[in-house]
Structure 1
């Protein structure tokens, strides 16, 4: 049962998230998801947030995460754009062009969100290869969710 007595006030919930949490399904500390009234709301100002509810087995974890909805969508955009990059990334020796690490600039509210390979990472060549393999390993999980998201967005008129 997702707590309702804390600062985040759940409105819409996924109470069985631990059963569908990707590779951690049925053995996840993430017990639920919720959309609700954000814990940072000030008087007269109401924001909606998404929250991942983690439970250690003994208590609700301080590592539970609350995110504004636009950040959840920004993460979904980043995931989709990253997957798209790796469709053709095999063309590069280390899955990216070191001369041009910026993959895309996605227009948002008059500016653009840059999507790029983190070349400040001293181990980027090794790490990006591990990342690419993990994407391949998780392709079924991610693709299923992206297809569902795509279908729902189309049904909603987007």
Structure 2
């Protein structure tokens, strides 16, 4: 596989075989690689570290490659962990959340807080939250493996 630099993303660290380990989509995914690299910043001469999801280059791909700044990847990881924590106790609620208080938590980040909440704007939230909970449960082994790997990596970096 050959991942080429573009004007917007210059790969530095890659997982070129990601299609083989893409969770339950492994071997049958349109995602072919992940990369961390440099992307053009907002100001001239400023570079940002960003991740990119590389999709198959054929015409069948419905979505282009996606690039995310590294802080957003970490924020998504925080969001995932907040959701997992919520759903580990969600059985206590008839609708898997408290409709009177849909906020799951607020996580302090850089002088403010990221609010994590159940999306009550979703007209089908009661069905969708049930399906989401089932999907988390069905994928528990895969998620757990990745969380344990992430935990080891964070410990190696001194984040305990």
Question: How many Å apart are 1:141 and its aligned residue?
Answer: 1.1
What SS does structure 2 have at the residue aligned with 1:38?
strand
CA contact (8 A) 1:2 1:32 kept: no
C-alpha distance after superposition, 1:37-82 (max 9, x if no partner): 1145653111111000000545887521100000000000100110
Match of 1:3 in 2: 3
2: CA distance, partners of 1:11 / 1:59: 27
Match of 2:120 in 1: 119
Question: How many Å apart are 1:100 and its aligned residue?
Answer: 0.5
Which sits farther off after the overlay, 143-152 or 38-47? Answer: 38-47
Question: How many Å apart are 1:102 and its aligned residue?
Answer: 0.2
2: CA distance, partners of 1:42 / 1:99: 43
The aligned length equals: 158
**RMSD in angstroms over aligned alpha carbons?**
1.7
Q: Which runs of 5+ in 2 are unaligned?
A: none
Q: What TM-score comes out, normalization by structure 2 length? A: 0.92
Question: How many Å apart are 1:2 and its aligned residue?
Answer: 3.8
2: CA distance, partners of 1:19 / 1:40: 31
Q: What TM-score comes out, normalization by structure 1 length? A: 0.93
* Structure 1 pair 128–136 and aligned structure 2 pair: CA distance change class (3 A): same
1: CA distance, partners of 2:40 / 2:61: 16
What SS does structure 2 have at the residue aligned with 1:32?
strand
